[in-house]
């Protein structure tokens, strides 16, 4: 063991000498020393094992010593850092710019399960909010209380065929009522116009809705003056939230880079994780979204204590999801973007 340790120690030292001295000297001094030690002890340093190997085509492969991966002549390396400003903001739809309280999908999920003979609560319906609507239905079937009710009704737990059937039923029901939930959140249109015209930002959008559902939202929003520069639906990418693909597709369509120059704004856990997974800044909206779960009139009717309690819960959920900032509504976004610009200028990344 002593001989082996000494051999490896000296061989490693010789390797370092070989790459520290000028090239000609290192070959003349260090390599013969390594070879001599290995011949005397019969022990080879792992990094110096150059036994020939061959690929499937019979071509000889050469092993590269680990020491070759170092560059001792350069003590420093350059790191490319973005220090410009925010270039784009990618917004969610329901709970962010319209449909305060995110009622449009929630009520339909309740109806879909009611039609199956397995009632669910509004809280259960809202749990997976932000995901692709089929994934949302699937996640509802994973909830223990829902599974127990399903088994009591059918004698078995829900499976993928049930998910497919319920999603097929969900789509026409959602399309039929979606136009009734397109009221813009107060201040959303003016804020987005400020971002576009004053701050010079591009506006993208992502959602858990499918393309045909988004088309309804876009038409209604355009009549109110909200026109995002890019829009990506959940069925346009391999996997929707919390995966990053919708953000990246927006970046491509908007021609915006790097990703740290993008801010994702959402009111759900999956929407926040979509942004952080994509590598951009994530801002949560607490008051108008899924976790306060009330429209404007219902919020105004709350007592101060109830309002603070619901808002605190929403803040905590979004912060725990990884949001860099949590604010009440989209109207509070401009100062956040200015602070992100400050952080970017100092070399910070999301």
pLDDT tens, 88-116?
Answer: 999 999 999 999 999 999 999 999 999 99
The pLDDT value recorded for residue 50 is 52
The whole-number average pLDDT for the span 327-337 is: 98
The pLDDT value recorded for residue 24 is 44
The pLDDT value recorded for residue 39 is 56
The β-bridge partners of 205 are 91
Residue 34 has pLDDT above 70, yes or no: no
Q: Work out whether the CA dihedral 155, 159, 164, 166 comes out positive or negative.
A: positive
Distance CA 337, CA 270 (A): 21
Q: Which residue has the tokens 């401009």?
A: 334
Distance CA 229, CA 211 (A): 16
The pLDDT value recorded for residue 131 is 93
The whole-number average pLDDT for the span 290-309 is: 97
Burial of 342 (0-12, 13-18, 19+ CB in 10 A): exposed
Residue 260 has pLDDT above 70, yes or no: yes
Residue 19 has pLDDT above 60, yes or no: no
The whole-number average pLDDT for the span 2-14 is: 56
The pLDDT value recorded for residue 266 is 98
The more confident residue out of 78 and 11 is: 78
Residue 8 has pLDDT above 60, yes or no: no
End-to-end CA gap in the chain? 50
Q: What proportion of the chain, given as a percentage, has pLDDT over 90?
A: 77
Mean pLDDT computed over every residue of the chain: 88
Q: Is the pTM of this model over 0.85?
A: no
CB 330, CB 191: distance < 8 Å: yes
The whole-number average pLDDT for the span 234-258 is: 97
Burial of 24 (0-12, 13-18, 19+ CB in 10 A): exposed
- The tally of CA atoms less than 13 A away on the side-chain side of residue 138 is 10
- The confidence band for 78, taking pLDDT boundaries of 50, 70 and 90, is confident
CB 240, CB 266: distance < 8 Å: no
The whole-number average pLDDT for the span 135-147 is: 96
Report the relative pairing of strands 202-205 and 262-266 from DSSP bridges.
unpaired
The whole-number average pLDDT for the span 152-162 is: 96
* Residues forming the active site: 92, 133
The pLDDT value recorded for residue 217 is 96
The pLDDT value recorded for residue 105 is 95
């Amino acid at each position: 063991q002593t001989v082996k340790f000494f051999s490896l120690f000296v061989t490693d030292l010789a390797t370092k000498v070989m790459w520290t001295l000028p090239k000609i000297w290192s070959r003349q001094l260090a390599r013969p020393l390594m070879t001599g030690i290995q011949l005397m002890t019969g022990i080879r340093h792992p990094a110096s094992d150059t036994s020939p190997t061959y690929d499937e085509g019979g071509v000889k492969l050469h092993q590269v010593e680990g020491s070759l991966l170092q560059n001792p002549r350069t003590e420093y390396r350059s790191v490319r850092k973005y220090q410009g400003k925010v270039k784009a903001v990618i917004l969610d739809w329901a709970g962010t710019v319209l449909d305060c309280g995110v009622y449009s999908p929630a009520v339909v999920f309740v109806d879909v399960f009611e039609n199956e003979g397995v009632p669910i609560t509004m809280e259960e319906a809202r749990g997976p909010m932000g995901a692709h609507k089929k994934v949302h239905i699937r996640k509802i079937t994973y909830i223990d209380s829902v599974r127990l009710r399903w088994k009591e009704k059918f004698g078995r737990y829900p499976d993928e065929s049930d998910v497919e059937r319920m999603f097929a039923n969900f789509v026409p029901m959602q399309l039929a009522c979606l136009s009734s939930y397109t009221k813009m959140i107060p201040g959303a249109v003016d804020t987005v116009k400020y971002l576009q015209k004053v701050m010079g930002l591009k506006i993208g959008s992502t959602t858990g809705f499918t393309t045909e559902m988004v088309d309804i939202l876009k038409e209604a929003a355009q009549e109110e003056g909200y026109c995002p520069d890019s829009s990506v639906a959940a069925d346009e990418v391999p996997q929707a939230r919390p995966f990053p693909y919708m953000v990246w597709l927006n970046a491509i369509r908007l021609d915006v880079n790097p990703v740290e120059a993008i801010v994702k704004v959402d009111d759900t856990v999956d929407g926040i994780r979509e942004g952080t997974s994509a590598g951009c800044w994530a801002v949560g909206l607490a008051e108008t979204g899924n976790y306060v779960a009330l429209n404007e009139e219902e919020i105004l009717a709350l007592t101060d204590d109830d309002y603070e309690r619901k808002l605190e819960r929403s803040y905590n959920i979004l912060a725990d999801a990884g949001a860099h900032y949590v604010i009440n509504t989209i109207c509070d976004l401009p100062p956040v973007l200015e602070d992100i610009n400050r952080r970017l200028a100092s070399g910070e990344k999301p």
